[in-house]
Structures are given as C-alpha cells and as structure tokens.
C-alpha cells in the first residue's frame, strides 16, 4: 500500500516537473533548479529535527511528510524515483549497518 502511494506520488511529480511554473508548486521548484530544491530539503530537515525535539508526534509526522515530499522532488529532478530508493533499501535488508557502511569504503 505505501509503495502504491510512493508510486502515485512519483508519477505525479514526474508529470508536474515539465508543467508551467505558475501552475504547480513542483513545477516552480523544478524551474528554480537544484539549489532551490536542496534549500527546501534543508529547511524541512531542520523542521523535522525541531519537531522531534518538541516530542509532539503529530508535528513529527507532518514534518517528515514534508521532508519526504521534497526529497521525492529531488529524486524526480535527478531522473530517479522512490522505487530506486526502495530497491536500495531492499538490497540492504538483513545487512548489518556496520557491515553496509564498511562496504562503501
């Protein structure tokens, strides 16, 4: 079910990235370019940290949703999809985090 949501959202983001910037928030971000998208991700990451420090579950969920959304915009901008990330997570499943990190060296 969650993969379906990510798939639908990825498809929507892909369709909107070539739309007129005044017709879509996603199209506007794409038109502004990579730095604008990265700035939004940074802002949302900071807001996620602040929400976690506040300890209010609803705020954490809201901010993580914003962070994920803007990260998905980045993936779309770079020609990638949520499925690419899910595939990487599946590849890492069952592998110790310590081992996985060591394998990157």
What does the pLDDT average to over 20-32?
A: 95
Pull the structure tokens for residue 16.
Answer: 């909107």
Provide the 10 A C-beta neighbour count for residue 17: 17
Phi, psi for residue 78 in degrees, rounded to 5: -90, 5
Provide the 10 A C-beta neighbour count for residue 77: 18
At 94, the pLDDT band (50, 70, 90 cuts) reads confident
- pLDDT confidence of residue 4: 87
- pLDDT confidence of residue 103: 75
What does the pLDDT average to over 19-27?
A: 94
pLDDT at 40 over 60: yes
- pLDDT confidence of residue 18: 87
- CA torsion sign for 19, 16, 59, 45 is negative
- pLDDT confidence of residue 61: 97
């Amino acid at each position: 079910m969650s993969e379906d949501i990510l798939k639908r959202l990825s498809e929507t983001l892909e369709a909107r990235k070539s739309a007129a910037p005044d017709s879509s928030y996603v199209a506007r971000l794409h038109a502004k370019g990579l730095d604008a998208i990265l700035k939004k991700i940074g802002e949302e990451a900071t807001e996620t940290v602040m929400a976690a420090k506040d300890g209010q579950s609803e705020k954490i969920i809201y901010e993580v949703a914003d962070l994920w959304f803007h990260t998905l915009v980045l993936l779309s901008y770079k020609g990638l999809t949520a499925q690419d990330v899910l595939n990487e997570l599946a590849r890492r499943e069952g592998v110790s985090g310590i081992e996985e990190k060591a394998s990157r060296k």
